[in-house]
Amino acid sequence: MAAPISAFVTAGFTHPEVLVSTDWVMNHIKDPKVRVVESDEDLLLYDIGHVPGAVKIDWHTDLQDPVRRDYLDQVHFEQLMSEKGIANDTTVVFYGDKNNWWACYAFWVFKLFGHADARIMDGGRTKWADEGRPLTKDVPLYPPTHYQAAARDDRQIRAFRDDVMEHIGSGAPLVDVRSPQEFSGELLHMPGYPQEGALRGGHIPGAKNVPWGRAVRPDGTFKSADDLRAIYEQEQGLKPEADVVAYCRIGERSSHTWFVLTYLLGYPRVRNYDGSWTEWGNLVGAPIEK
């Protein structure tokens, strides 16, 4: 299904097909081959009002294992897709609050299971609302599907602590997308949030600090490819061919940066370390810089 992507082509993105506009979503609300998914940090937003026809996917209760700190398995992902009316050939369009922060996280989890056609609505929930587009409290019910997921691939786009240790040893690039206060060790959590999550503050040795929000404009839309390259390549010295690992506190902000580097700039080898600082800052003997 081709999307009108001329604006995203003009922006110079390597994979403009992964972005859709609010106009595109408005024109495809009733398209049976499209499923719009809202994924927010604020779990009450969907109930207050959402894009008509959109289903809710909760990053915590839907995408996480209820006991282990890990993601749901293949069987439960298939069940979730069936419940949301998503088939293997469905175009899934994610959007949410906080500049599509959790939308990119859900997108990343879908890619762990190999879903083919996943996209992000540029500008997210804020842009949709600011444009005066309709919001509804009606929760849609779709016929169940017979989704068949690939086994979860934890090697291509996901990094673990041993991978990070190897990165430190080899000098490969690490991108810390947290705030400067978290990077320096002044805070153990995001500014404005409770001080919790790790016993130690600081950053992984050798990491570059590029706060995730720098990739978007004030209206929540992504900056152009030239502007993004100025940040990541000219300012921070990243090379497109490098093996890059991004991290934050629990992997949600870094999934946004993973999306930017992978799809908008076309880096072929970017992984999200979802253990992030919650794991690293609590590891006995893990090297830390401040």
Residues recognised as catalytic: 248
Residue 93 makes CB contacts below 8 A (sequence gap 6+) with: 20, 25, 28, 34, 35, 36, 37, 119, 120, 121
Rounded CA gap, 57 and 136, in Å? 16
Provide the 3-class DSSP secondary structure of residue 53.
coil
Helices (H) and strands (E) in the chain, counts: 11, 10
Handedness of CA 79, 84, 87, 89 (dihedral sign): negative
Closest CA to 251 of 120, 158, 151: 158
Residue 270 makes CB contacts below 8 A (sequence gap 6+) with: 157, 244, 245, 246, 258, 261, 262
Rounded CA gap, 30 and 36, in Å? 10
CB 187 within 8 A of CB 275: no
Residue 79 makes CB contacts below 8 A (sequence gap 6+) with: none
CB 93 within 8 A of CB 47: no
Q: How many CB atoms lie within 10 A of CB 30?
A: 8
